[in-house]
Chain A
Amino acid sequence: MTIEGTQEYSINMGPQHPSTHGVFRMVVHLDGEVVTKVEPKIGYLHRGLEKMAESRTYTQFIPYTDRLDYLAGPHNSLGYVQAVEKLMEIEVPERAEYLRVIFAELGRIASHLVMIASGSLDISGWTPWSYCFRDRERILDFFEMTAGNRMTPNFVRIGGVSHDVPDEFMPALKSFLEDMPEMMEEYYGIFFGNEIAQSRMKSVGILPKELAENLLITGANLRASGVQYDVRKAEPYSIYDRFDFKIPVLYGCDTYDRHFIRLLEIQESKKIIEQAFRDIPAGPVMAKVPKVIKPPVSKVYHRVENPKGEMGWYIVSNGTTKPARVRIRTGAFVNVQMLDAIVKGWKIQDLVTIFASMDLVLGEVDK
């Protein structure tokens, strides 16, 4: 049998592949090296977190929330805990609010560092990867010295935080903040300013503004497509309205901008942490909450700006100690749908960079 013309070549990337982040699986249809179609297959990390929540008490579910976006644990639990606090109408002490913000923003920096690192690793940049992980390590050390766990600190509690930070935390944080400008320069010099890296990323994988809005893309991916939207400004939660920070926005819509906006966001997070570090008051870190958390019969929706996008928590309470239903809207899960739309026509090498620029965490996608 002879085959006329060219034949489509479909290859299976993942769930076991060196460059898929986590256990994401793509069925890639190729014409030579050019991608004609990508079918994302998800669900390899599905743990049924929403169902698990129904069989655990409100407090028992907090550690599970850390495992959603496991690169930025504190922000997930912040969203969940604040939703429960809305149900219970609990006032949180000032110091606890500041500590929550510091931890949430440290988590954001850590998450963005991993994103930049894996983005560079996907075009074979081992050295920038190493630099980013070196600095992320210091953030994980902060989590460890405070909460004991490195990646999933389980620090936020209903009514405050689990305990105050140790004495060595604040000096260490100060020196970290002082070192940050130098780190930023290093990342720029070795990765963002690199001629080859720019040629690999600039004007590759365009996500136009209209498409981004129509696909409900949120987070840094949306802001790299020219939409200035951030839940921290649009609907301030916790004490984010007290801080002076900007929402960076880029108009390139390409892979490079989706990487670069993370660097800009790290700088804004640094500003927030500096202000929180300056203003943090002394006092208790835990409000007076009942021993048994039993919210009244009602429902609540609360949303926060997770590093991966907007994260929404819909909790239905039936008046018992366990939630009747928990629904989690995660940014990364919704962002998956942009993949097929923006990789068409690019080469298989670009598919890898474009996929990295989406910054997916499979814990969030599969839940």
Chain B
Amino acid sequence: MDALNNLFVNIAAAIRGLFADSHSFSADLTINIIAFIILFLIMVVAALFLSLVERKFAHWVSQRSGPNRLGPHGWFQFIADAVKMLGKEDITPANVDKFFFKMAPMMLVGVTLMVFGVIPFGKGMVAIDLDLGIFYFFAISSLSTLAMLMAGWASNNKYSLLGGLRAVAQMISYEIPLLFSLLGVIMITQTFNLSAIIEAQETIPFVFLQPLAFIIYLIAGIAETNRAPFDQIQGEQEIVAGPFTEYSGLRWGLFMLAEYGNVVATSAIAVTMFLGGWYGPGFLPGWLWFILKIWLVIFLMMWIRWTFVRMRIDHLMHFAWKILLPLALVNIFLTGIGIYVYELLIARIGG
């Protein structure tokens, strides 16, 4: 069990062992490149697989059959989708701002990939163990707003522009409750380091101490990843596909890749902050627990997506500013009182 638990850590140590000085610059560089490649593969495979699972789930909810041709019950469909996406013609419309038009999908994918860098998939299994991990997560994921606006503006399309502006309005509004919902956890653990936050949850996951914050995080997280009922940005019934209207082929595929990558990243942060990360009953290795918990959150998000209808943009803004943000502040206040009372009790028992 222990060997299985530390499988990837040991592999990394073995690779480091190949170098004369296991902490030299070249050893660090090699490890980082390998980690980067693995993270990219994780993201691509997870996104492709997720696109299939999403459809399967949707069809299960709405009593349809879904993809059922390729492989057993259609479970190889995502391979065909990927091949199709690669083979499609890449169309750049005539009057677009070519540099930004091509830049936007790459930037979005890059941002998503950068978020993956700080996610601790298991004990010691984190590409870059930043002390400011959660701070980094927010700083980087804010950049995706810019990519959306870039795509919407550069496309030179009225629907795209509407979508891009909606993206800015929505994502900036929801970042604030998202950030504030995590402050409670940070107050308890007194650290920004994601691995340290998980280690603090060895006895009890923070979802039991911070249930309100978890709900706020989940709602704001769904809004941040632009999924129903908060998918105003690409609301296909009104604005066709929002910023993605003019994209085709692999460029469109990159947007989808980033969307599903974001779903995984947001779920991973939820698992890290609230669901106890890699801790779980001992019969499975820690990294597997982490992945299973991510899937649990993803299923919750899918369930919401396929049950609710889309909100209106003004209701959405009201919801962020007038409901979620005050609730998040209340949560911070309650956490502060809780910590104060807890410390008093400790002092009394200790004294």
Interface residues of A (CB under 8 A from B): 9, 11, 17-19, 33, 120-127, 129-131, 134, 190-191, 194, 196-197, 199-200, 347-352
B63: A residues at CB distance < 8 A: 130-131, 134
Interface size on B, residues (CB 8 A): 28
Contact present for B162 and A124 (CB under 8 Å): no
A125: B residues at CB distance < 8 A: 308-309
Contact present for B307 and A122 (CB under 8 Å): no
Decide yes or no whether B306 CB sits under 8 A from chain A.
yes
- Chain B residue at minimal CB-CB distance from A122: B237
Contact present for B64 and A124 (CB under 8 Å): no
Nearest CB of B to A179, in Å: 14
> Within the complex, which residue of A33, A120, A134, A197 is in contact with B313, where a contact is CB–CB below 8 Å?
A33
Nearest CB of B to A3, in Å: 15
Nearest CB of B to A212, in Å: 25
Decide yes or no whether B343 CB sits under 8 A from chain A.
no
State which of B199-207, B228-236, B254-262 sits at the interface with chain A: B228-236
Decide yes or no whether B315 CB sits under 8 A from chain A.
yes
Inter-chain residue pair count (beta carbon < 8 A): 80
Nearest CB of A to B148, in Å: 17
Nearest CB of B to A6, in Å: 13
B313: A residues at CB distance < 8 A: 33, 347, 349
CA distance A9 to B165 in the complex (A): 14
A200: B residues at CB distance < 8 A: 309-312, 315
B58: A residues at CB distance < 8 A: 126-127
CA distance A252 to B90 in the complex (A): 49
Contact present for B62 and A131 (CB under 8 Å): yes
B64: A residues at CB distance < 8 A: 130, 134
Nearest CB of B to A47, in Å: 27
Q: A18-B237, A121-B237, A124-B229 are in contact. Are A196 and B158 (CB under 8 A)?
A: no
CA distance A205 to B238 in the complex (A): 16
A191: B residues at CB distance < 8 A: 309
Decide yes or no whether B214 CB sits under 8 A from chain A.
no
Contact present for A199 and B312 (CB under 8 Å): yes
Q: A124-B228, A126-B62 are in contact. Are A199 and B311 (CB under 8 A)?
A: yes
Nearest CB of A to B24, in Å: 54
Decide yes or no whether B114 CB sits under 8 A from chain A.
no
Decide yes or no whether B314 CB sits under 8 A from chain A.
yes
> Within the complex, which residue of B229, B235, B237, B307 is in contact with A127, where a contact is CB–CB below 8 Å?
B307
Nearest CB of A to B53, in Å: 16
> Within the complex, which residue of B229, B231, B306 is in contact with A196, where a contact is CB–CB below 8 Å?
B229
Decide yes or no whether B159 CB sits under 8 A from chain A.
yes
